[in-house]
Structure 1
């Protein structure tokens, strides 16, 4: 009987993504920083429909300055797709400092550890 191919990788990716979720919930970038490559990027579309983003430091700065701890925040890892040393994931988050997001992450397994190399996201408009 052969072992499932990606069980350990899936568990390792979930651990990485939970650092992001916990950092959002606690409004503390130091919790999420270990999940990201120093070279990671983050992009979205702004209110005028233009591309906005850049280096991942923008996420960390925003979390630390514009967000408040949100004990009621909920983040769900909706999907993880793994092939070899590459993976993508989706997280839906509610009530992070009053915002709801859908985040898409790209991860690579670098020197045996999963790390986020890019994040794109959509901010949901409150009804």
Structure 2
């Protein structure tokens, strides 16, 4: 389905806020990117992680921001939009690890937000 340019820009902004918020441990950017009731799900250190946004942000804060001068890496592989629902497949680097994320987004009150993040940590 064709995406309106405004929707595409807002989806891109949500993904950018997510990656930059994670890399730079920026809670405000993460809260802009995610819906407050979202879930972050995947296997981390061989354990199933099923985290809330608050849990995710706390873990990011423990890791701390990337060193000065680090440029966040992410590559959007696929975007699929149907009405007010979308999925984005993105590869990103965080703290020396590479992830493939499947982000589910929903347009809530006129703004695209991530409602679920399902991730795969590359070995």
TM range, smaller chain? 0.7 to 0.9
| Rg (Cα) greater in structure | 1
Match of 1:10 among 8, 11, 14: 8
Match of 1:40 among 23, 35, 38: 38
Q: Contact 1:6–1:82 (CA<8 Å) still a contact in 2?
A: no
Alpha-carbon distance between aligned partners in 1 of 2:23 and 2:48, rounded to the nearest angstrom:
26
Q: CA deviation at 1:55?
A: 1.3
**TM-score, length-normalised on structure 2?**
0.86
| Structural RMSD (CA) | 1.8
Q: 2:77: which partner in 1?
A: 78
Gaps of 5+ in 1: none
Q: Identify if the C-alpha distance between structure 1 residues 10 and 34 changes in structure 2 by more than 3 Å, giving closer, same or farther.
A: same
Q: 2:58: which partner in 1?
A: 61
**TM-score, length-normalised on structure 1?**
0.83
